[in-house]
Amino acid sequence: MLAFSACSDDDDKEVVNPIVGTWSFSSVVADEVELSDNYYKERIENFLEKRGESDFGSFTYTFTADNKVTLVDLDGSGVGTYTFKDGKLTIVWGEDDYDTYYASLGNGVLYIYEDYLEMLNDLELIDFIHLSINDLSLDFHKAVVKMTFVKQ
């Protein structure tokens, strides 16, 4: 009779999702911007970066191992649940109230990618005037900003 036995501490260790922890907004950069006339690209990138900072700049997320998330910002706080799998972060705040982002982690940094294409395509004349864009036929093809959050 042949018998093998092995002992390992690895069997007792719980695998922790790397997103678990508290993450505070650090910066935003226009990541992918494509439009019909590159003459306006820098203006649109600056606009998107300001919009991203306005939307996310005061955010601090806390993700727990039991898939709960707390968001604290200037307007208060919210609690929900999350899933982070295959590069997608989905946060459910309530029934029919959720956000889904492409996201990635690396070296203590959480990157969240926000797509502003729909918002750009809904710009009105006054918005073009504020952006000093006189080409009302300008088409937007891609408008993604990358928000950086650092682990606390």
Where are the domains positioned within the chain? 17-145
**CA 37 to CA 87: how far, in whole Å?**
31
Task: Give the contacts of 96 (CB within 8 A, at least 6 positions apart).
Answer: none
Whole-angstrom Cα distance, residue 56 to residue 130?
Answer: 22
pTM of the entire predicted model: 0.82
Mind listing the pLDDT tens digit for each residue in 11-31?
556 667 899 999 999 999 999
The token pair that represents 44 in the structure block: 């649109």
Is residue 112 packed enough to be buried (19+ CB in 10 Å), middle (13-18) or exposed (0-12)?
buried
* Cα dist from 67 to 60, 90, 142, 148, whole Å: 16, 11, 31, 21
* pLDDT tens digit sequence for 64-88: 999 999 999 988 899 999 999 999 9
Q: pLDDT tens-digit profile of 91-105? A: 999 999 999 999 999
Handedness of CA 93, 94, 99, 103 (dihedral sign): positive
